[in-house]
């Protein structure tokens, strides 16, 4: 237990580096601008949090009319656990097998289950920050609006603490089993990437793809029966139903039984993970850092051709960025998978009973007023394209090799241009995937999809340049494992807050124009010109900022 506490403490200190930040700000008086940046980030997030509370309150009112308010808890818990399970696969894979401290940890007199338990604890703390934004507001709205028992609030705290355990433990089991299999191959990177995508596809398909179609009579029974909607929402993941019923019942009735089920399953899956660590962890780790040499003998003509090849500077940087992302499975999975995940989940929701009502509502929205529908679709496309850490970790992903960017004979402005194109291509991929899915699912015509896509592309260019500027201001180059460059990078959080502020400003500006009587194509034209001008200005600032910032970055 003493070794476990020491490992966990060291991992948390390394993960958050709070002592280092405190020393720089209060002792050395450096990075004081971070305080102001945090304040600005909070101002950008607060309006969205307030809006989220209002939406939850509206949903609670609609469910309360049907006597189905418990479904709000089930939906929030399920959303949090699915998010943790899906993105936890990559986080666990990186922390368990690709962190730079693994070679040091395995040399210590500690059992494999102690190493895994310590790393699991660090991941758990990080996932609390993720789940807090989704689950805690729902708990507060339900507790304030429903007639909850006195034990609701301490039980809500217990459910929140245990909420990430099951999905993270399942992710750990899947990852260790996969790594034990792929480690027998010489092409480890390819099989790690392919196996991760296969695991992710399996998880999503099991949650959404096997729900099947229900008859109207069966759906009506779910909507009219007590607690029926909660059972419909969580039928593929019963622990979220147990947790919501526990919160609704407290220690009365069947509450203690649901408490035993939820706590027992959480403890059981965690113990299974620690047992599997003893059997699988080191076997999947041994030889992972070995690289198979590949030698290709070039003829004199081929060698002369390669040496004579000349590329534009931006193209060379673009190819370098592409290769850097492709050669690091964690970067590729975190950067690319996010932009296709939202559209794919929306597509699979069509087949699920739990998603039927939501899709029906969105289709009704899609048959409404054209301007509002186009703006709603634009927001969806922007989320599909920009909800990833590719742009906001552009410079951080280079890590300690950033010195190469400082010495290559390419001006920093041109390097920023090549990196911008790479990040913007990811945005384009997300918008295209969103359009391909939204048109058949929401039954939107081209008269809505095309202007929405055009507005989303210009907004995506603005957000990409802004996010890159955030990362360039303080790149994280000393990460211990690739996942930290994206998942635990403060720049990604700050950029997300900045994105929220940009979207809120666009919402306010659009609402003002509509109140002034502008609508339809005239409104879209004004928004397009404004976004295009803002994107050009942001890109110009990024290039100028890079020219002065590169020399002062210590790699």
The pLDDT of 523-541, averaged and rounded, is: 93
Q: What is the pLDDT of residue 100?
A: 66
Are residues 414 and 317 in contact, defined by beta-carbon separation less than 8 angstroms? yes
Residues 6+ apart with CB under 8 A from 227: 68, 70, 245
Euclidean distance between CA atoms 485 and 23, whole angstroms = 22
Are residues 83 and 130 in contact, defined by beta-carbon separation less than 8 angstroms? yes
The residue among 271 and 199 whose pLDDT is bigger is 271
Half-sphere exposure of 377 (CA within 13 A, CB side): 35
Hey, where are the domains in the chain? Answer: 1-15+37-288, 313-555
For the cut 70, the answer to whether the pLDDT of residue 300 exceeds it is no
The conformational region for residue 241 under phi > 0 = left, psi -120 to 50 = alpha, else beta, is alpha
The residue among 310 and 59 whose pLDDT is bigger is 59
For residue range 419-471, list pLDDT tens digits in order.
Answer: 999 899 999 988 998 888 877 777 777 888 899 999 999 999 999 999 999 88
For residue range 9-43, list pLDDT tens digits in order.
Answer: 777 766 665 555 555 666 666 656 566 666 666 66
- Beta strand spans in 232-279 (E): none
The residue among 203 and 339 whose pLDDT is bigger is 339
Q: What is the CA radius of gyration of the chain?
A: 25
Other CB atoms closer than 10 Å to residue 464's CB: what's the count? Answer: 30
The residue among 91 and 213 whose pLDDT is bigger is 91
> In the numeric block, which tokens belong to residue 370?
């054209």
Torsion, CA 511, CA 514, CA 518, CA 521, rounded to 10: 70
Are residues 159 and 120 in contact, defined by beta-carbon separation less than 8 angstroms? no
Are residues 164 and 84 in contact, defined by beta-carbon separation less than 8 angstroms? yes
Confidence of residue 366 (pLDDT cuts 50, 70, 90): very low
For the cut 60, the answer to whether the pLDDT of residue 357 exceeds it is no
Are residues 535 and 461 in contact, defined by beta-carbon separation less than 8 angstroms? yes
For every residue of 26-91, which 3-state class applies, written as one string?
A: HHCCCCCHHHHHHHHHHHHHHHHHHHHHHHHHHHHHHHHHCCCCHHHHHHHHHHHHHHHHHHHHHH
Q: What share of the chain is helix, strand, coil (3-state, %, to 5)?
A: 80, 0, 20
Q: What is the pLDDT of residue 535?
A: 94
> In the numeric block, which tokens belong to residue 336?
């690319």
Question: Whole-prediction pTM value?
Answer: 0.67
Determine which of 99-108, 208-217, 395-404 has the lowest per-residue pLDDT on average.
208-217
Q: What is the pLDDT of residue 353?
A: 47
Confidence of residue 267 (pLDDT cuts 50, 70, 90): very high
Residues belonging to the chain: 555
Confidence of residue 370 (pLDDT cuts 50, 70, 90): confident
Residues 6+ apart with CB under 8 A from 259: 155, 246, 251
Q: What is the pLDDT of residue 518?
A: 81
> In the numeric block, which tokens belong to residue 281?
């962890």
Mean pLDDT, rounded, of the chain = 77
CA angle 378, 384, 385 (to 5 degrees): 90
For the cut 50, the answer to whether the pLDDT of residue 516 exceeds it is yes
Query: To which residue do tokens 């534009």 refer?
Result: 312
Euclidean distance between CA atoms 424 and 386, whole angstroms = 9
By three-state DSSP, how is residue 252 classified? coil
Euclidean distance between CA atoms 443 and 363, whole angstroms = 7
The pLDDT of 515-539, averaged and rounded, is: 90
End-to-end CA separation in angstroms for the chain: 38
For residue range 185-200, list pLDDT tens digits in order.
Answer: 555 555 566 666 666 6
> In the numeric block, which tokens belong to residue 143?
């507790």
């Amino acid at each position: 237990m003493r070794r476990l506490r020491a490992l966990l403490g060291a991992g948390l200190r390394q993960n958050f580096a709070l002592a280092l930040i405190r020393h720089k700000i209060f002792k050395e008086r450096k990075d004081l601008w971070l305080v102001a940046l945090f304040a600005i980030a909070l101002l950008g997030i607060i309006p969205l949090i307030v809006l989220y509370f209002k939406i939850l309150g509206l949903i609670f009112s609609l469910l309360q009319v049907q006597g189905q308010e418990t479904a709000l808890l089930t939906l929030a818990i399920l959303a949090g656990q699915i998010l943790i399970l899906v993105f936890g696969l990559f986080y666990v894979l990186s922390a368990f097998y690709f962190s730079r401290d693994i070679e040091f940890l395995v040399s210590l007199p500690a059992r494999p289950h102690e190493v895994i338990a310590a790393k699991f604890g660090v991941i758990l703390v990080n996932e609390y920050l993720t789940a807090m934004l989704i689950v805690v507001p729902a708990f507060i709205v339900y507790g304030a609006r429903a007639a909850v028992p006195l034990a609701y609030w301490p039980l809500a705290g217990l459910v929140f603490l245990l909420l990430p355990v099951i999905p993270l433990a399942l992710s750990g089991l899947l990852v260790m089993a996969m790594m034990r299999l792929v480690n027998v191959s010489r092409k480890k990177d390819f099989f790690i990437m392919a196996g991760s995508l296969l695991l992710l596809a399996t998880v999503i398909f099991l949650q959404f793809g096997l729900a099947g179609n229900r008859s109207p009579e069966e759906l009506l029974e779910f909507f009219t029966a007590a607690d029926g909607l909660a059972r419909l929402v969580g039928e593929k993941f019963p622990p979220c139903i147990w947790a919501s019923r526990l919160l609704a019942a407290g220690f009365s009735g069947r509450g203690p039984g649901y408490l035993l089920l939820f706590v027992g399953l959480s403890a059981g899956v965690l113990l299974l993970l620690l047992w599997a660590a003893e059997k699988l962890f080191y076997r999947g780790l041994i030889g992972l850092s070995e690289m198979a040499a590949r030698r290709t003998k070039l003829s004199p003509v081929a060698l002369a051709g390669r040496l004579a090849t000349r590329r534009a500077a931006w193209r060379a940087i673009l190819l370098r960025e592409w290769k850097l992302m492709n050669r690091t499975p964690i970067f590729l999975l975190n950067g690319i998978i996010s932009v296709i995940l939202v559209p794919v989940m929306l597509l699979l929701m069509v087949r699920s009973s739990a998603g039927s009502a939501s899709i029906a509502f969105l289709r009704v929205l899609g048959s409404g007023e054209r301007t509002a529908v186009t703006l709603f679709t634009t927001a969806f496309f922007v989320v599909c394209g920009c909800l990833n850490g590719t742009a906001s970790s552009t410079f951080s992903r280079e890590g300690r090799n950033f010195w190469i960017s400082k010495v290559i004979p390419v001006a920093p402005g041109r390097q920023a241009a090549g990196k911008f194109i790479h990040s913007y291509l990811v945005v384009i991929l997300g918008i295209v995937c969103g359009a391909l899915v939204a048109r058949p699912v929401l039954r939107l015509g081209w008269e809505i999809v095309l202007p929405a896509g055009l507005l989303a592309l210009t907004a995506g260019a603005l957000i990409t340049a802004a996010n890159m500027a955030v990362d360039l201001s303080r790149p994280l180059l000393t990460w211990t494992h690739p996942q930290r460059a994206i998942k635990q990078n403060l720049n990604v959080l700050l950029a997300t807050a900045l994105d929220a502020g940009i979207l809120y400003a666009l919402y306010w500006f659009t609402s003002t124009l509509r109140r002034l009587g502008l609508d339809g194509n005239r409104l879209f034209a004004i928004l397009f010109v404004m976004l295009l001008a803002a994107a050009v200005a942001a890109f110009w600032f990024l290039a100028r900022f890079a020219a002065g910032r590169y020399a002062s970055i210590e790699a």
